[in-house]
Amino acid sequence: MKIKVCGLKYPENIEAVTALQPDYVGFIFYGKSPRYMAGLAADVLKSLPEEIKKTGVFVNESAENINSLIAKYGFEAIQLHGNESPEFCAEFKGKVIVLKAFGINEDFDFEQLKAYANNVDFFLFDTKTKKYGGSGKTFDWGILDQYTLDVPFFLSGGLGPENIEEVKNITHPQFYGVDLNSRFEIEPGLKNIEKLERAFAIIKQ
């Protein structure tokens, strides 16, 4: 199971998180988020180990801005967290790894994902809330049985020290990785390294 840690913004903390060797790290480019990484020097990201995929997280950002931020920070992956269309995702597929996020609730229609299947590398299933991302809330993972496409997905939304063991019971064939965020924080954007370390050990057991 792959591990993505999302919403990093402080250089020393980024270094400590990357020392745990996650597969992906996420940086939020959304002004309304308390994890917005504005002001973080590009050098901090460019000096991270090559095997850890740096992921820019965007919400309805223009293609032009995304392209210039990819160039500036050297992102290998992007996570599109807003209402981006399949055509919008296609503009980036093959240039960077594309993760398209969807907020899931009991009414979610998995049929709509068909239109994205050729245009993204991964889906990221997060909990549907009124705000974008980082809610700390889980959704009913049982609904994932309705997902039948062959695009692998990250599970997201409220994963924390208390439920990370349970995640290992998910047997869906496309379950690729977990996305860890607010339940591993001391404050928004500042990750708790001890909690992450324990979770990594459980996941990798």
Catalytic residue positions, numbered: 6, 126
Contact 203, 183 (CB under 8 A): no
DSSP annotation of 113: G
Q: Does 158 bind ligand LARABZUK (CB under 6 A)?
A: yes
Residue keyed to tokens 């049982």: 142
Using CB positions, name the residue nearest to ligand LARABZUK.
133
Compute φ and ψ for 35, nearest 5 degrees: -105, 10
Q: Does 157 bind ligand LARABZUK (CB under 6 A)?
A: yes
Integer CA distances (angstroms), 107 to 84, 115, 133, 175, in order = 20, 18, 18, 20
Q: Does 136 bind ligand LARABZUK (CB under 6 A)?
A: yes
Q: How many chain residues bind ligand LARABZUK (CB under 6 A)? A: 24
Among the listed ranges 41-49, 68-76, 109-117, 134-142, the one in contact with ligand LARABZUK (CB under 6 A) is 134-142
Q: Name which of 102 and 147 has its Cβ closer to ligand LARABZUK.
A: 102
SS3 22: coil
Q: Name which of 131 and 204 has its Cβ closer to ligand LARABZUK.
A: 131
Among the listed ranges 45-53, 113-121, 162-170, 181-189, the one in contact with ligand LARABZUK (CB under 6 A) is 181-189
Q: Does 191 bind ligand LARABZUK (CB under 6 A)?
A: no
SS3 102: strand
SS3 135: coil
CA distance 149 to 146: 9
Q: Which of 81, 125, 147, 191 binds ligand LARABZUK (CB under 6 A)?
A: 81
Among the listed ranges 15-23, 41-49, 67-75, 133-141, the one in contact with ligand LARABZUK (CB under 6 A) is 133-141
Q: Which of 35, 53, 54, 100 binds ligand LARABZUK (CB under 6 A)?
A: 35
CA distance 28 to 61: 12
CA distance 141 to 154: 12
